[in-house]
């Protein structure tokens, strides 16, 4: 981790920004955009030719006063949603965003159903345990007999 | 009925296995192009062999073409070169080269040594046309229809099998 950060900053340092705000945005952008070639690295970490080109492009776009969403849209238009480390919600990945909530609700419904079912069973059992007056009398008789 | 419910975990396990099995045969490097069914990006770039000539969209549209991204620094490009020569010989589709981030002298020498399957070669020294096209490495090949719309992208070496697949796609246009 330490080394990868180091190399990332070495690569970034070749770009000189006039104001610190742009430099901060540059750091954010190269961290959240993914290198299309090396796949498990962001643009900051990668030294592949394409990552260098894309860093150069981001630098140029920042210097020409383009906003962050514009730059991200530019990359997505060319390389697809793949380049985003923070994926957007769309029809293709909706199941991944919503799936857990659907499962959670389904699980809750099952739990509620089971608890209710069990509650019914318990009250049914209590009913059968209740004795009427005649049975109570007999029970007392039996218990008293035992004491003697 | 409760007995059947006991099989639910097994069924879920089966589904999981299917997904994992499918995952084994997927190539994570094969990304869909973001430009499928979109127009080839507009450009105005020098020709490789005629530096004074500027190539533009007008040189690409009019008939279906293969745009092959290549460079002399790319070993797989040498590997697919013979296949490109065969495709050129069959004369079913024109191949346009996109010489990507390369050196003009080396590229010219490569073509004279190995043969030139390309009708035209775009000399994209800065790689900016490649960037507009979403290229992330060579070789890559794009199939364009007569209107210059990108219909298919192939990442990696073109083999005889790839060529058959490309021809199938082209035939499906003829049917429409």
Q: Which band of pLDDT confidence, cut at 50, 70 and 90, is reported for residue A16?
A: confident
Find, among B137, B84, B143, the residue nearest to B111 by Cα.
B84
pLDDT at site A3: 47
Q: Is the pLDDT of residue B95 over 90?
A: yes
Pick the CATH number of B33-175 from 3.50.50.60, 3.40.30.10, 3.40.50.11540, 3.40.50.300: 3.40.30.10
Q: Report chain B's mean pLDDT, rounded to a whole number.
A: 90
- Residue A22's CB is within 10 A of a number of other CB atoms, namely 15
Looking at beta carbons, which residues of chain B come within 8 Å of A49? 101, 127
Give yes or no for A77 touching B (CB within 8 A): yes
Q: Which band of pLDDT confidence, cut at 50, 70 and 90, is reported for residue A5?
A: very low
Residues 6+ apart with CB under 8 A from B93: B64, B65, B66, B87, B166, B170
For the record, the structure tokens of B94 come out as 């024109």
pLDDT at site B73: 92
Percent of chain A with pLDDT over 90: 29
Query: CA-to-CA distance for A128 and A144, rounded, in angstroms?
Result: 24
Ranking A42-46, A107-111, B63-67, B74-78 by mean pLDDT, the lowest is: A42-46
Give yes or no for A33 touching B (CB within 8 A): no
Query: CA-to-CA distance for B56 and A133, rounded, in angstroms?
Result: 103
Instruction: List the domain boundaries for chain B.
Output: 33-175
> What is the per-residue pLDDT across A85-102, written as a single tens digit (0 to 9) for each?
888 888 888 888 999 999
For the record, the structure tokens of B85 come out as 């020569």
Q: Which band of pLDDT confidence, cut at 50, 70 and 90, is reported for residue B71?
A: very high
Looking at beta carbons, which residues of chain A come within 8 Å of B137? 37, 50
Residue B68 contacts residue B39 (beta carbons within 8 Å) = no
Query: CA-to-CA distance for B139 and A54, rounded, in angstroms?
Result: 19
Q: Could you tell me which chain B residue has the CA closest to the CA of A38?
A: B29
For residues B135-159, b (16+ Cβ closer than 10 Å) or e, as one string? bbbbbbbbbbbeebbbbbbbbbbbe
Q: Which band of pLDDT confidence, cut at 50, 70 and 90, is reported for residue B28?
A: confident
Choose the closest CB to B101 out of A37, A49, A54.
A49
Give yes or no for B132 touching A (CB within 8 A): yes
Average pLDDT over residues B94-112: 94
Instruction: List the domain boundaries for chain A.
Output: 2-83, 94-147
> What is the per-residue pLDDT across B109-124, written as a single tens digit (0 to 9) for each?
999 999 999 999 999 9
Average pLDDT over residues A17-39: 88
Choose the closest CB to B136 out of A37, A57, A77.
A37
Tally C-beta pairs within 8 A across A and B.
35
Q: Could you tell me which chain A residue has the CA closest to the CA of B127?
A: A53
Choose the closest CB to A80 out of B32, B133, B137.
B32
Q: Is the pLDDT of residue B79 over 60?
A: yes
Average pLDDT over residues B87-115: 93
Q: Is the pLDDT of residue A125 over 80?
A: no
Average pLDDT over residues B30-44: 85
Q: Is the pLDDT of residue A11 over 70?
A: no
Query: Are the beta carbons of B34 and A77 separated by less than 8 Å?
Result: yes
Q: Residues 112..131 of B with a Cβ closer than 8 Å to A: which?
A: 127-128, 131
Residue B144 contacts residue B67 (beta carbons within 8 Å) = yes
Q: Is the pLDDT of residue B163 over 70?
A: yes
Query: CA-to-CA distance for B97 and B110, rounded, in angstroms?
Result: 13
pLDDT at site A6: 46
Residue B51 contacts residue B122 (beta carbons within 8 Å) = no
pLDDT at site A1: 42
How many residues does this entry show for chain A?
148
Choose the closest CB to A79 out of B28, B29, B34.
B34
The complex scores an ipTM of 0.74
CA of B120, closest CA in chain A: separation in Å?
24
Best to test chain B binding among A47, A80, A107 (most B CBs inside 10 Å): A80
Looking at beta carbons, which residues of chain B come within 8 Å of A117? none
The partner residues of A42 in beta bridges, in order of sequence, read: A34
pLDDT at site B86: 94
pLDDT at site A128: 63
Q: Which residue has the higher pLDDT, B121 or A40?
A: B121
Torsion of CA B155, B158, B160, B163, to 10 degrees: 70
Residue B151 contacts residue B169 (beta carbons within 8 Å) = yes
CATH of domain A2-83: 1.10.8.640
The distance from CA A33 to its chain's CA centroid, rounded to whole angstroms, is 18
- Residue A112's CB is within 10 A of a number of other CB atoms, namely 10
The burial of B35, by beta-carbon neighbours within 10 Å (0-12 exposed, 13-18 middle, 19 or more buried), is given as buried
Q: Which band of pLDDT confidence, cut at 50, 70 and 90, is reported for residue A126?
A: low
pLDDT at site A45: 87
Choose the closest CB to A39 out of B28, B33, B34.
B28
């Amino acid at each position: 981790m330490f080394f990868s950060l180091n190399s990332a900053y070495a690569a970034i340092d070749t770009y000189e920004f006039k104001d610190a705000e742009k430099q901060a945005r540059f750091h954010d952008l190269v961290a959240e955009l993914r290198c299309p070639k090396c796949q498990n690295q962001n643009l900051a970490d990668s030294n592949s030719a394409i990552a260098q080109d894309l860093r150069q492009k981001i630098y140029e776009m920042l210097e020409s006063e383009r906003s962050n969403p514009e730059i991200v849209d530019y990359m997505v238009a060319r390389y697809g949603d793949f380049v985003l480390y923070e994926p957007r919600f769309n029809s293709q990945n909706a199941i991944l965003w919503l799936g857990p909530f659907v499962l959670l609700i389904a699980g809750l419904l099952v739990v509620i159903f089971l608890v209710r079912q069990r509650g019914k069973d318990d009250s049914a059992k209590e009913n059968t345990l209740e004795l009427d007056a005649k049975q109570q009398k007999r029970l007392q008789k039996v218990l008293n007999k035992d004491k003697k | 009925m409760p007995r059947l419910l006991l099989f639910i975990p097994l069924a879920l396990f089966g589904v999981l296995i299917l997904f994992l099995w499918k995952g084994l045969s997927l190539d994570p490097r094969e990304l869909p192009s973001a430009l499928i069914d979109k127009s080839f990006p507009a450009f105005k770039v020098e020709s490789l062999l005629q530096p004074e000539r500027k190539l533009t969209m007008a040189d690409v549209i009019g008939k279906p073409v293969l745009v092959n991204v290549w460079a002399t620094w790319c070993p797989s490009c040498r590997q697919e070169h013979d296949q490109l020569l065969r495709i050129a010989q069959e004369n079913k589709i024109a191949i346009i080269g996109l010489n990507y981030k390369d050196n003009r002298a080396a590229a010219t020498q490569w073509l004279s040594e190995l043969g030139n399957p390309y009708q035209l070669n775009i000399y994209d020294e800065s790689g900016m046309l490649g960037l507009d096209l979403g290229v992330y490495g060579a070789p890559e090949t794009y199939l364009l229809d007569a209107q210059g719309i990108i219909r298919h992208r192939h990442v990696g070496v073109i083999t005889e099998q790839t060529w058959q697949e490309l021809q199938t796609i082209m035939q499906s246009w003829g049917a429409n």
